[in-house]
Amino acid sequence: MVTNRSKSSGRQVFSMSLTRCRILTKRKKQHPSENLILFCDIRHKAAPSAYRTFAKDLAICLSAQRIQDMKYIIIGAVAGGASTAARLRRLDEHAEIIIFEKGAYISYANCGLPYYIGDVIRDRNALFVQTAAAFHQRFNIDVRTMTEVMAIDRSAKTVTALNRVTGETYTETYDKLVLSPGAEPVRPPLPGISLPGIFTLRNVADTDLIKAFVQQKNVNRAVVIGAGFIGLEMAENLSGLGLEVSVVEMGNQVLAPLDFPVAALAQRHIRAHGVHLMLESAVEAFEKAETGLNVLLKNGENLPADLVILSIGVRPDTRLAVEAGLETGPARGIRVNEYLQTSDPDIYAVGDVIEFENPITGISMNTYLAGPANKQGRICANNIVLGNVQPYAGAINTAIVKVFDMTVATAGMASKHLRNAGIPHLVSTTHSGAHAGYYPGSRQMSIQLAFSPEDGRLFGAQVAGYEGVDKRIDILSSVIQRKGTIYELAEFEHAYAPPYSSAKDPVNMAGFVAENMLLGKTNVFYWNETEDLPANAVLLDVRTQEEAGHGIIPGAVHIPVDNLRAQMNALNPASDIYIYCQSGLRAYLAQRMLLQNGFGKVYNLSGGYQLWEACTKEKAETGKQKKEAVEFA
């Protein structure tokens, strides 16, 4: 084809070839050469920029001609489905594209629904990214809302659809089919679960029902079942409306993707805002009361409520796929290959309904996040039109949530999940100011890292703080995605000015500590090990006298770090020394002093006293609630 690589004439030759290609494709019904697409793919991945531009243009030109009579059907019109449809149209102007959506709305901001209920978002129309009419007008796509696909006939390549307004049932043929039905809320078969006042939140219709109920009824008390991302957002927004809110969670912490120490920081903040947080508690039944409802717990407690929000979780809506005989996986999602293609080569799937290999563990998993769903839609359309040229690398489940004044975020794998997967790792926790301490308003941010003890590869990151959390988790997520290491964090160059960061950003500080652990400059112990120290161990508090006066770990000896050199002889070098300060920095300084003065085994409490305090108080709070429940029963 094209061999001239010179800067002066290369682009001209490319343009002539592309023009020639367009002429050829107009004269022929078939693709002039299947090898051209392979050429495009190769040049796109490893060629000079002029070749890449030509290759991309050529691929789109030839592929559009080859499939100009194609008919695409997409089931589901929110994140993944709408994204797929729009990209298909941009790549292929002449195809027939039909979207079926069983609800009344398409492409809406379902992540904003709790904030509309809480009157943070006041304009309901702001929730709609696109309407069906506007989508049709802009993209020439046939959008059929209130129409549910009831069955797929793979051999005939048809779908059977039911118009939920008129009751009409009909079939449509397809050349390629995309499944994006999303996930459905879990509603366990508990007694009384269908009583008035009990809601799930998954779509606009649910939102309208909840908002109307709150506005029209005398709602004073709300119970949220489930302490995941949506559950906590609902708790915050209902509390903001002036309601008395209780959150019931079966697990031992909020936000299951997090490790307990970071969750504990969030839990302290939630309780401080007046929410009644009940962990390790399960609902047994609901019953109608004289006013409102009673939520009956398995421990015998009875929570009165005017409103109940079920936020127990979701599961992939695989009914159509299963009935059509498509392969599903161990995570109960539709199994797709790297090109988002199902076990039927003419059917693709995206969004909450699919499962794929986790890039870190290799274990098949789901992800219920809008970001990955939208990106999958674009990749899926590319593969349908261009012929499986773009692999999907998977998702590392980067997520963030606002919890009252605090922001909590996660990316990659939690330590507990790495442990379950048998992946060796180390964990570090640091606390740093979100911006320069001398600039007004700086508040602390906590960063936990999980990384390989062999090469420092970053497996997971969790951040809790009040400002700048989003920026830091995005940096950490990028490193995790490309299999980077903690050494990159230590050298990361950030934009610095006092209102935004410090000369050593919290990400740098987290990298320094992790690097010190790998280099053997610091050995750490963790909050849950303080009660099981060796018999000869000395627990050493190196904080100031004032700090120690506010609380101390039982059994600790107190020597402020600034006095340690002078009082070092009070310690036995043969003893194991376990040091802590408020956050970990001064304990590290004390550790380095002792190690270089003949002390052989010296350990630093990861996350310091403040993390220990949050974790132990949360453990005690849950234990107290369980004891009170037993006494009540």
The CB density around residue 303, as the number of other CB atoms within 10 Å, is: 19
Select from 237, 546, 159, 572 the least CA-distant residue to 403.
237
Helix H or strand E encompassing 320: helix 319-323
Does residue 408 contact residue 255 with C-beta atoms inside 8 Å? yes
Contact indicator for 625, 275 with CB cutoff of 8 Å: no
Report, in angstroms and rounded to the nearest whole number, the Rg of the chain calculated over CA atoms. 29
Which residue out of 21, 40, 61, 111 is catalytically annotated?
Answer: 111
Ordered strands of the 293-297 beta sheet: 283-288, 293-297, 302-305
CB 355 within 8 A of CB 390: no
Asked if 382 and 388 count as a contact pair (C-beta separation under 8 A), the reply is no
Check if 615 is active-site: no
Q: How far apart are CA 83 and CA 180, in angstroms?
A: 10
The CA-based angle 145-151-153, given to 5 degrees, is: 125
Could you tell me if 477 and 411 are in contact, meaning their C-beta atoms sit under 8 angstroms apart? Answer: yes
Query: Can you tell me the distance from the alpha carbon of 261 to that of 256, in angstroms, rounded to the nearest whole number?
Result: 12
Q: Cα–Cα distance between 373 and 379 in angstroms, integer? A: 10
- For residue 455, the SS3 value is coil
What are φ and ψ of residue 196, in 5° steps?
Answer: -60, 140
Distance CA 342, CA 236 (A): 39
Q: How far apart are CA 245 and CA 227, in angstroms?
A: 12
- Long-range contacts, 387-394 (Cβ 8 Å, 24+): 387/37, 387/63, 388/339, 388/341, 389/37, 389/40, 389/41, 389/44, 389/59, 390/339, 391/338, 391/339, 392/336, 392/338, 392/339, 392/340, 392/356, 393/359, 393/481, 394/356, 394/357, 394/358, 394/359
- Full 3-state SS string of 43-88: HHHCCCHHHHHHHHHHHHHHHHHHCCCCEEEEECCCHHHHHHHHHH
Instruction: Tell me the C-alpha distance between 434 and 497, whole Å.
Output: 12
Spatial contact of 334 and 344, defined as CB atoms under 8 Å apart: no
| Residues ≥6 apart with Cβ < 8 Å to 286 | 190, 191, 192, 193, 195, 198, 293, 294, 295, 296, 308
Work out whether strand 71-75 and strand 96-101 pair parallel, antiparallel, or are unpaired: parallel
Q: Which is nearest to 430 in space by CA: 540, 483, 508? A: 508
Return d(Cα 77, Cα 82) in angstroms, integer. Answer: 5
Provide the CB-side half-sphere exposure for 381 (13 A, CA): 25
Cβ–Cβ under 8 Å, residues 576 and 533: yes
Spatial distance between the Cα atoms of 429 and 461, rounded to a whole number of angstroms: 10
Catalytic residue set: 111
